[in-house]
Each structure stands twice: as C-alpha cells, then as structure tokens.
Amino acid sequence: MMSAMNSKIKAVGYAIAAAVFYALNVPCSKLLLGKIGPTFMAAFLYLGAGIGVGAMYLAHYKHEPSSERLEKKDMPYTVGMVLLDIIAPILLMIGVNIGSASNASLLGNFEIVATTIIALFIFKEKVTGKLRAAIGLITLSSIILSFGGEGSFSFSLGSLFVIGATACWGLENNCTRSISEKSTYQIVTIKGFGSGTGSLIVALVIGEKFPELKYILPAIVLGFVAYGLSIFTYIRAQKDLGAAKTSAYYAIAPFIGALLSFVFLRESITAAYPVALTVMIIGTVFVISDTFDRS
C-alpha cells in the first residue's frame, strides 16, 4: 500500500515537473522566432532533446536491462510518435510566430481534451467521472482566461495552427503511453533525433532561411529543457498515471507559460487570470483526489 502511494506521489511530481519544463517553451521560443524560422525552430528544439537526453542515455545504457528496450512490436507506436512530433511543433511554431505567446500557451490546454478523448475511445483507457469533471474544469479555466482580454482568444489562423498542434500531441501522447513501460531514455532519444531530423529535412525542402549559428545553440539548450526533460518526466508520469490523468496535471503548463509571457514579453495580464486559475486549482484537486482515492 505504502509502495503504491509512494509511486503515485513520485508520478505526480514527474507530471508537474514536465509541465514546468514545457512552460518555458512558448515564451522563450517567441523570443527566438524573430531570428529562426518556425520549421528550423521545431527541428532545433527536438534535436536539443535528442542530444541532451541522448548524452544522459550514454551514461545510463550499461545499467539498463535489455528487456526495457524497444522491440519490433513497438515499432508502429514509435513511428507514429516520431511522425506526429514532426508535425505538431511545426504547427505550434507557426502559430506562435503569427500570434501571441500568451494565446498560444492558453490554447495548449486543448491538448488534454484531445489526449483524453483519444485515450477513452481509441485506446480504451479508463476515465472516471471524477477525472472527466476535472478535465472539464481545467479546460473551462483555459477558456475563461483566453476570453479575458481583447484579442486573447481570437480564432485567427495562428490559433488554428496551435489547436492543430495540440490535436497531434493528443494522439502522440497516447502512442507514447503504449510504450511508456520501455526505456524512457531510449524513447526520448529516438523522439528527439527522429522528429528533429524530420523537421530539419522539411525546413530545407521548403527553403526556409537557415538561421545564424549564434541563435542555434540557445534553441538547442531550450529544446533539451523544454522538450527533452519535459518529455522524459512526462513519460515517467504516464507509467503510473496513464495518458489522460498525466495530461490533466500537465494542464498547469499553459498557465505558467502565460504568466512568463506577461512577465518577460510584457503581454498584458487580465482580471480573468485569478478567476481562471481558481477554477483550474479546483479541477486539479479533483485530479489529485482521483489519483490517490484507490491507492
């Protein structure tokens, strides 16, 4: 009983860490997108994840049981994960580039809706009534905050690109959940190098301007933190919590991202923020209760 409780507490910690790491993505990417095209930006973010976690994997590899490594039967989910991770960040970077960083952060909460619907209807993951209520509240909080100011939630072309990205990541979360019992190091390394290389090829094919070298290193470092460490801790959380519940905890990321946008990019804060945050906290309490009530 105590062991199961400790595992869930650790998993919740991983989910929150994943949200905090990823929250850095949108506002920091917004600063770099003036110097790096959106497709190259997506490529460098994932390559940063692959390089950083790949280096961690080199140190871990000799201690890893061979049974934890991906097998041939895992190939469909692995390929799906990589392809979706090529498409999603490109859509997100385009959306961030032509829209506001705070708006993109808030719209990111639609990922939990996509993740849960796909987990429920396609992957047959159990979603309790309490968890459905929590996800509803968390999504409502995002909508409240998004409508809180002039132009903060306009379904512009940029917003549609962001929503498209969240839908791709919702499906990708479920693909990754299906192999989450395997080596987290291997999964993130494959995801980083595979998706990063794919995005790099797309950028070169479409003729996007190659950025100055001095901007590439910051993008790679950001990718290691916001993608590499975030994905790593997210997968660790999924092992015990499942795709739907992990995505609900992860829903704090857009609020942190929006707050960082307010602080560092000087994008305006609205009176709706504390109201939406309160609704989100209530939803999070439901998630926490659902996580531990069967421990």
Tens-digit pLDDT profile for residues 102-116:
667 667 767 777 887
Q: Is residue 2 situated within a structural domain? A: no
Q: Is residue 4 situated within a structural domain? A: no
Q: Are the CB atoms for 94 and 217 separated by under 8 Å?
A: no
Q: Is residue 48 situated within a structural domain? A: yes
Q: Is residue 286 situated within a structural domain? A: yes
- The H-assigned helical ranges of 24-74 are 25-32, 38-60
Q: Is residue 5 situated within a structural domain? A: no
Greatest Cα pair distance, the chain, in angstroms, is 57
Indicate whether 151 pLDDT > 50.
no
Q: Is residue 15 situated within a structural domain? A: no
pLDDT tens digits, one per residue of 243-255: 777 877 777 777 7
Q: Is residue 7 situated within a structural domain? A: no
pTM of the model: 0.79
Cβ contacts of residue 181 below 8 Å, gap of 6+?
A: 68, 239
Give the other-Cβ count within 10 Å of 293's Cβ.
9
Indicate whether 5 pLDDT > 80.
no
Q: Are the CB atoms for 70 and 183 separated by under 8 Å?
A: yes
Q: Which residue has the higher pLDDT, 263 or 181?
A: 181
Buried b (16+ CB within 10 A) or exposed e, 228-241: bbbbbbbbbbbbbb
Q: What percent of the chain has pLDDT over 70?
A: 89
Q: Are the CB atoms for 164 and 91 separated by under 8 Å?
A: yes
What is the number of alpha carbons within 13 Å of residue 184 lying toward its C-beta? 16
How many domains is the chain partitioned into structurally?
1
Q: Is residue 88 situated within a structural domain? A: yes
Buried b (16+ CB within 10 A) or exposed e, 95-118: bbbbbbbbbbbbbbbbbbbbbbbb
Indicate whether 88 pLDDT > 80.
yes
Residue 81's domain comprises 21-292
